[in-house]
Amino acid sequence: MSSRPSPIPGFLLRLVIGIILIVVISLGIFTIVMQPPMSAIRHMAGFLSITALVSVLAGYGAYRSRWMERLPALRWSLLTGYALASLLTFLNVWITARLMFASQHDLLLATVLLLFASGIAMVLGYFLSSAVSERIHNLKHAAEAIQAGDLSIRLPVDGHDEVADLARTFNQMAEQLQQADARQRELDSLRRDLVAWAGHDLRTPLTGVRVLVEALADGMIEDPGTSQRYLEQARKQIDHLSSLIDDLFQISQLDAGGIPLNIEPASLSDLLSDTLENFTDLASRQGVHLSGNAAPGIDPVCMDVQRIGRVLNNLVSNALRHTPSGGHIFIQAEPDDDGIHVTVQDSGEGISPSDLPHIFDRFYRGEKSRNQSTGGSGLGLAIARGIVEAHGGRISAESVQNQGAKFCFILPRKD
C-alpha cells in the first residue's frame, strides 16, 4: 500500500516565512511611527518573536491534527480556521495591551472591542465560506447526477478561482462523457443493424446457391442447357456473396481506425477511362449511355489508385442501378481551388428528400425490402465516404426526385 508524500515541510516553510515577514513589517512600522529607544525596540522584537512562535506552533498543531478533515462540512472547517485566527489575534493584541496599558479600564475596553471584532470576523467568515461551500455542494450534486446516468448536467461557471476552474473542467468532462456515450450508442445500434442486415444479405445468396446445388446434386436437372444456366446463376450468387464479404471487410477496417492507404502520384484521367471501360458493356446491356471526361492538367493526383477506383466503381454501379433504360450517366473530373472535383451524375429517379441525409450511412437503403435486384448491401456509399475522408477529402450528394442525382467528391491537392 503506497503512502502519499507528506506536504508538511512545504506548508511549514510557507507558514514560517509568512509570519517572519509580518514580524519584520510590524517591527519596522513600530520603529518608524513610535521612534522608540533601542531598548524598546529590542523588547518589542522579543515580544513579537514569542507571539509569532506561538502562532506557528498553533497553526502547525492544527494542521497536524487534521481536524479540518474530520468536520462534516467545509464551511465548518473554514469557520474553525477563522476562530483559530481570531483567537490568536485576540491573544496577541490582548497580551500587548496588558503589558503596555496602565489603565485597567482601557484594558477592559480593548478586551470588549477585540471580542466584538473576533465575533464579527467569524460571522462574516461563515457567510463567505457558505458561498464557497455552496458551489462545491453544487459540484457534488452534479457528480452524483453523472453517476446516476444524467450526462447532460452542466455547472454554472462563476468567477476565476480554483472552484470555477474545477466547474469548467467538470463541464468539459461531462461533455466528453456525453459524446462518448452517444458514440457508444451509435456503435451499439450499428452493431445490431450489422447482425440483422448482414444476416439477411448473407442468407439470401447462400439460400439461392444451396437450392441450385441441391437441384443439380439430386439429378433433377437433366438438360445440359438448364444445368449450365443453374451453374451460371450459382456463380452470380457466389459473386454477390463475395462482394458483400468484401464490403464487410472494408467496413471493419474503417471501424478499426481507418483504411490503410498507399498514396502516390497517379493519373486520375487514366483511372476514369478504366472505370468507363469496365462499365461500358453493363451500361449498354441496360440501355444506359455512359460517358465522361477529365479536364486537361489535373494529373498527377496524389491518391491510392485502388481505393479511389473503388469509390468510382461504387458510385457508377449505384448510378446504374437507379438509371432506367434510355438514361445517361456522366463522369467528370476538373480542378479548382479546393482540389480535384470528381462528379458522377445520372438521370435516374433521384433520391427522395427523406433519404438524402442518410445515404452515406451504413446499411441504409431507401428501398426497404433489400431486394438484390434493386439495391446493394447498403455499404457502398459508406465505404466511398470512408475512403475519400481518409484521403483528406469530402463527398456529398444532391438530387431532385425524378430528375437524377449527382455525387461529388473532392481530393485535396498535395505536393
Radius of gyration of the chain (CA): 41
Instruction: Return d(Cα 256, Cα 145) in angstroms, integer.
Output: 33
C-alpha to C-alpha distances, 344 to 355, 403, 404, nearest whole angstrom: 18, 14, 11
Q: Output the pLDDT for position 183.
A: 79
Q: Long-range contacts of range 103-106, CB-CB < 8 Å, 24 or more positions apart?
A: none
Instruction: Return d(Cα 93, Cα 46) in angstroms, integer.
Output: 15
C-alpha to C-alpha distances, 53 to 50, 59, 67, nearest whole angstrom: 5, 10, 21
> 27 exposed, middle or buried (CB, 10 Å; 0-12, 13-18, 19+)?
middle
Instruction: Return d(Cα 386, Cα 8) in angstroms, integer.
Output: 56
Mean pLDDT, the chain, whole residue set = 76
Instruction: Return d(Cα 392, Cα 414) in angstroms, integer.
Output: 10
Count of alpha carbons within 13 angstroms of residue 373, beta-carbon side: 0
Q: Which of residues 198 and 55 earns the better pLDDT score?
A: 55
Read off the pLDDT of residues 117-154 as tens digits, 9 standing for 90 and up: 777 777 776 676 677 777 777 888 888 888 888 888 88
Which helix H or strand E contains 345, and what residues bound it? strand 339-346
Instruction: Encode burial over 58-94: b for 16+ CB neighbours within 10 A, e otherwise.
Output: ebeeeeeeeeeeeeeebbbbbbbbbebbbeeeeebbb
Q: Copy the grid coordinates of residue 317.
A: 454501379
> pLDDT band for position 1 (50/70/90)?
very low
Is residue 257's pLDDT more than 80? no
Is residue 212's pLDDT more than 50? yes
DSSP 204: H
Q: Which of residues 136 and 367 earns the better pLDDT score?
A: 136
Q: Which of residues 252 and 263 earns the better pLDDT score?
A: 263
Q: Copy the grid coordinates of residue 296.
A: 486537361
Q: Output the pLDDT for position 3.
A: 46
HEC states along 14-43?
Answer: HHHHHHHHHHHHHHHHHHHHHCCCHHHHHH
Is residue 266's pLDDT more than 60? yes
Q: Copy the grid coordinates of residue 140.
A: 457534488
Instruction: Return d(Cα 122, Cα 128) in angstroms, integer.
Output: 10
Angle subtended by helix axes 380-390 and 224-255, to nearest 10: 40
Q: Output the pLDDT for position 71.
A: 61
Q: Output the pLDDT for position 128.
A: 67
Read off the pLDDT of residues 386-415 as tens digits, 9 standing for 90 and up: 888 888 888 888 887 777 888 898 888 765
Is residue 370's pLDDT more than 50? no
Q: Copy the grid coordinates of residue 224.
A: 445440359
Instruction: Return d(Cα 270, Cα 77) in angstroms, integer.
Output: 78
Read off the pLDDT of residues 283-297 as tens digits, 9 standing for 90 and up: 888 888 888 888 888
